[in-house]
């Protein structure tokens, strides 16, 4: 993982859009597969991207990619470059995997995406038998179609390392020419639907609970990611970190309190005191997280109540049923029966 300097933004204020040095190196390597070295080196110098900055200006990187794509007459230049790196097994080699099930991996991927790029935000919407990993570009990058396409491709490959192997289709906002449609379909190797409301990967739910081993090295990497995120976004409170970690650790072996404390490099009692000093309680955050995760997973019709209880960290299904009725005033079966298909 890269060494990152804290964001210059003040409390509660987002900093300028940046990307990690590691991610930028991959962008340059992808471009180098198709752009002659002298032209790439000159472009990097022109956009002041040949300097050893800890974080790279995202706007300048997008402008650079756009310039080179126009010069070569290839709007899919960066996507082709990422595909080339993937074929040579050089796409993010050695990036630590995600412990737990594939859903846990997806949640970690979404939470720690800002460590690598602030081009977009991503959300995971669970459906009846398929889910969408939706990519939402920041307002300043609405026209960055090439970067969005490459990010969807790399997201797919990274999530495959967490067990999310079944990608049904790629959704793109773009409305390209017929020749470009054929090229994009070939690059993604799955059906591509154009003119969609947002860029997204359509995922098969069957793989969401596929388990990956939760090794000590993976847990150490998870803790390092969270602490790094807190460094580049110093306005994040301990309670906010716990709120972000809980949906992840509920899928891992161990107690939620013990896991959160370990990942934040705090003792359990210190973590509880810090959360209480911020006006809450760990128990309250845990119940809130379980409730929200239950709502998120409820549309998935093949997921039984017993599986849902286990995924929320309940040792006995009866505990889950009591909690669910307290949250919503009805049983899981009653609520699911009223949900749209």
Task: Please tell me whether residues 207 and 296 are part of one structural domain.
Answer: no
Give the tokens for residue 293: 């995760």
SS3 (DSSP) at 79: helix
**What's the predicted TM-score (pTM) here?**
0.86
Q: Which domain does 53 fall in, by range?
A: 18-87
At residue 16's C-alpha, the angle toward residues 49 and 28, to 5°, is 30
Residue count (the chain): 341
The sign of the CA dihedral 79, 84, 89, 90 is negative
Look up the CATH number of the domain holding residue 281: 1.10.10.60
Distance CA 104, CA 100 (A): 6
Would you say residue 217 lies in a domain?
Answer: no
Distances (CA, A) of 105 to 86, 148, 164, 251: 20, 21, 8, 10
SS3 (DSSP) at 57: strand
Distance CA 257, CA 331 (A): 27
Task: Please tell me whether residues 122 and 76 are part of one structural domain.
Answer: no
Task: Please tell me whether residues 205 and 105 are part of one structural domain.
Answer: yes
Task: Please tell me whether residues 174 and 256 are part of one structural domain.
Answer: no
Helical segments of the chain, H only: 21-32, 37-46, 58-72, 77-87, 102-112, 145-160, 178-188, 216-232, 238-249, 256-263, 268-277, 282-297, 305-311, 317-328, 332-338
Would you say residue 92 lies in a domain?
Answer: no
Task: Please tell me whether residues 41 and 114 are part of one structural domain.
Answer: no
Give the single-character DSSP code of 330. Answer: S
- Burial environment of residue 290 by CB neighbours within 10 A (0 to 12, 13 to 18, 19 or more): buried
Within the chain, what is the greatest distance between any pair of CA atoms?
A: 67
Would you say residue 1 lies in a domain?
Answer: no
Look up the CATH number of the domain holding residue 132: 3.30.980
- Burial environment of residue 287 by CB neighbours within 10 A (0 to 12, 13 to 18, 19 or more): middle
Chain centre to alpha carbon of residue 261: 22
Task: Please tell me whether residues 140 and 104 are part of one structural domain.
Answer: yes
Would you say residue 60 lies in a domain?
Answer: yes
Task: Please tell me whether residues 127 and 202 are part of one structural domain.
Answer: yes
Task: Please tell me whether residues 114 and 77 are part of one structural domain.
Answer: no
Distance CA 49, CA 194 (A): 33
Structural domain total, the chain: 3
How much is the pLDDT for 96?
65
Are 57 and 16 in contact by the 8 Å Cβ rule? The answer is: yes
Task: Please tell me whether residues 125 and 81 are part of one structural domain.
Answer: no
Distance CA 18, CA 68 (A): 20
Would you say residue 10 lies in a domain?
Answer: no
Give the single-character DSSP code of 304. Answer: -
Task: Please tell me whether residues 190 and 257 are part of one structural domain.
Answer: no
Would you say residue 190 lies in a domain?
Answer: yes
Q: Which residue's entry shows tokens 């022109």? A: 46
Would you say residue 6 lies in a domain?
Answer: no
Give the tokens for residue 120: 């977009």
How much is the pLDDT for 15?
54
How much is the pLDDT for 105?
84
Distances (CA, A) of 241 to 113, 266, 321: 15, 12, 28
Phi and psi for 265 in degrees, rounded to 5? Answer: 60, 45
- The residues near 176 (Cβ < 8 Å, ≥ 6 apart) are 75, 184, 194
Task: Please tell me whether residues 128 and 201 are part of one structural domain.
Answer: yes
Distance CA 42, CA 215 (A): 44
Would you say residue 126 lies in a domain?
Answer: yes
Helix (H) or strand (E) segment spanning residue 204: strand 199-204
Task: Please tell me whether residues 55 and 136 are part of one structural domain.
Answer: no
Distance CA 45, CA 60 (A): 11
How much is the pLDDT for 120?
93
Mind listing the pLDDT tens digit of every residue in the chain (341 residues)? 333 333 333 333 345 799 999 899 999 999 999 999 999 999 999 999 998 888 999 999 999 999 999 999 999 999 999 999 999 999 888 776 677 788 888 888 889 998 899 999 999 999 999 999 999 999 999 999 999 999 999 999 888 877 777 899 999 999 999 989 999 999 998 999 999 999 999 999 988 888 776 666 778 888 999 999 999 889 999 999 999 999 999 978 889 999 999 999 999 999 999 999 999 999 999 999 999 999 999 999 899 999 999 999 998 899 999 999 999 999 888 888 776 65
Phi and psi for 190 in degrees, rounded to 5? Answer: -140, 165
């Amino acid at each position: 993982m890269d060494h990152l300097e804290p964001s210059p933004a003040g409390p509660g204020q987002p900093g300028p859009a940046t990307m990690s040095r590691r991610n930028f190196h991959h962008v340059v390597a992808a471009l180098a597969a198709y752009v002659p070295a002298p032209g790439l080196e000159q472009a990097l110098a022109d956009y002041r991207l040949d300097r050893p900055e800890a974080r790279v200006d995202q706007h300048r990187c997008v402008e650079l990619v756009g310039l080179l794509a126009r010069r070569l007459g290839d709007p899919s230049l960066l996507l082709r470059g990422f595909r080339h790196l993937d074929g040579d097994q050089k796409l993010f080699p050695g990036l630590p995997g995600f412990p737990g099930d594939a859903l846990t991996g997806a949640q970690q991927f979404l939470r720690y995406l800002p460590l690598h790029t602030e081009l977009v935000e991503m959300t995971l919407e669970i459906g009846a038998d398929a889910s969408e990993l939706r990519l939402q570009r920041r307002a300043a990058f609405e026209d960055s179609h090439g970067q969005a396409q490459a990010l969807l491709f790399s997201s797919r490959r990274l999530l495959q390392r967490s067990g999310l192997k079944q990608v049904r289709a790629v959704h793109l906002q773009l409305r390209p020419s017929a020749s470009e449609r054929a090229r994009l379909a070939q690059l993604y190797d799955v059906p591509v639907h154009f003119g969609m409301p947002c860029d997204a990967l359509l995922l098969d739910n069957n793989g969401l609970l596929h388990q990956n081993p939760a090794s000590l090295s993976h847990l150490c990497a998870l803790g390092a990611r969270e602490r790094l995120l807190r460094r580049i976004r110093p306005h994040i409170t301990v309670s906010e970190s716990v709120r972000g970690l809980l949906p992840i650790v509920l899928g891992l072996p161990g107690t939620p309190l013990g896991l959160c404390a370990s990942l934040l490099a705090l003792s359990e009692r210190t973590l509880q005191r810090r959360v209480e000093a911020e006006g809450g309680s760990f128990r309250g955050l845990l119940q809130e997280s379980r409730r929200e995760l239950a709502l998120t997973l409820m549309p998935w019709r093949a997921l039984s109540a017993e599986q849902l209880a286990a995924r929320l960290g309940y040792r006995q299904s009866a505990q889950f049923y009591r909690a669910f009725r307290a949250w919503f005033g009805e049983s899981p079966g009653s609520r699911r029966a009223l949900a749209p298909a």
